[in-house]
Amino acid sequence: MPASPRRTGRWIALLAIVLAFGLLGLRGIWDPDEGRYTNVAMHMLDRGDWVYPHRSDEVGHWTKPPLTYWAIAGSVATFGRNPWAARLPAALAFLLCTWLVWRIARRLVPGGEDQAALAFATMAMPFGASQLITTDFLLAGWETLAMWAFVEARWGEPARARQWGLLLWAAFALAFLTKGPPGLLPLVAMLAFDLLQPRGQRGRLFGFAGPALFLLLAAPWFVVVMLGTPGLFHYMIGDEVVNRIATNEFRRFGTWYGWLQVYVPTLLLGTLPWTPALLRWARRLPADVRGWWRAPQRRREQREWLLPTLWLLLPLLVFCLSRSRLPLYILPLFPALALLVAMQRRREGRGLPDWRAIAGWALLLLVLNLAASQWRTHKDAGEWAKAIRERVQGPITEVCFVSDMARYGLHLEMGAEVEKLSILPEPGDRGIDRVNDSDIAQELAEREPGLVWITKQEKWPQVQARILALGYRPVVQGTPYYGRVSFRVLPAAGG
């Protein structure tokens, strides 16, 4: 690396930009996750309704608050309907986190800011997540912004603490609008940190102005949609919060040992190539914790170590206790890990790694990303769009998946609405979180032009029989694709 600190920072910034944007739009939208988020965002653009998220014209989508959809829709409206634009918010959040880690490190580990930023930018997990469309990187960005404000309020000029406090609560409001209550987890670490400081040196987090700003920014959307959508409050609290924490309803590694299956590999592999430094830190952690527990003055003297440790461990404990676990849930903890890497290497007297090793690792990350873009998978909505256009003649305004996983990514890739249908009507009130948008009979009754229908080959006889019974005639279009039959539906002869 160049000797000049300024030049070093520029090289790190350039490296982060190359990693973020180098191959961002090379592959199509991958279902189900990328397709689900882009589909809702496209509905916002198509309908002009930025308040009520929809997965189809008939069905709302309430699994997440709207900020991720707003970001994707705004990017696509600006840069065009393509995967690059849809992934741009995640890439920008990656760069924001890299910069914020650098800023936080200036306070907590002076002289190690370049190392902290470099560690975050080149860790496997943040890089991989920056190429995906999820809520998690936007959430990481807002949470890290809140932590930077907290650090500046505690380590910076006391006269500006109030302004930093307002930024902290504004950042938490954006985090809450991105993923709801999980966005407030760093607040637990901040409160614990203040409680562990000597009484006269504790800051204030709960004055009037900060929480009031939080409510002013975060509450209006929730109030509007809950008043306008019966049952939504119960769904958001019961299903999206309580059931994710306390039950295995979502079947996301909900066994008692599920955290070992998910988070241990994520931490070991996701922090490469910096994992050895974190393992050395972890070996010293029990001794550090004993010292902090027994000697309050030591907590004050080592508060730069205490804060990132609490930032990492307290939310991680919550994620381990929750019975819904996925690797990306702990992405917002990686800024804390990058800080700990820089602090550990500074404690050991290690400087920045050799630039050739870093360049080689970065090249490996880009090569792996390139290989992923060339991987043929049935989840690639871009390939599905090509296959459908090759098989189906005429205009396509909607694609209906019957008794199959809906490829919602086609909404972005083709500009066509996507719906998931059941073969037979579903009894009773299907509720806010219903699985299917409608059924075959309802869709046929709408008599919309430009429909393409897709179903699994093994379901084809049942689907064909149902359509014939309703007085219509299914016409197969081309050859099957990934075991799916594409077809149009025409009125029966003489109908």
**What is the DSSP annotation of 345-412?**
HHHTT--PPPHHHHHHHHHHHHHHHHHHHH---TTBHHHHHHHHHHH--S---EEEEESS---TTHHH
pTM score, two decimals?
0.95
Return the pLDDT at 295: 86
Return the pLDDT at 253: 80
d(CA 344, CA 351): 11
Return the pLDDT at 50: 97
Backbone angles phi, psi at 417, to 5 degrees: -70, 150
Helices (H), 180-208: 185-195
pLDDT beneath 50, residues of the chain: 1-2, 495
Return the pLDDT at 204: 78
Neighbours of 159 (CB within 10 A): 7
**Contact of 181 with 238, CB cutoff 8 Å:** no
**Contact of 118 with 357, CB cutoff 8 Å:** no
461: left (phi over 0), alpha (psi -120 to 50) or beta: alpha
Return the pLDDT at 127: 98
d(CA 145, CA 35): 28
**Contact of 184 with 305, CB cutoff 8 Å:** no
Q: What angle do CA 57, 62, 64 make, to 5 degrees?
A: 130
d(CA 68, CA 53): 11
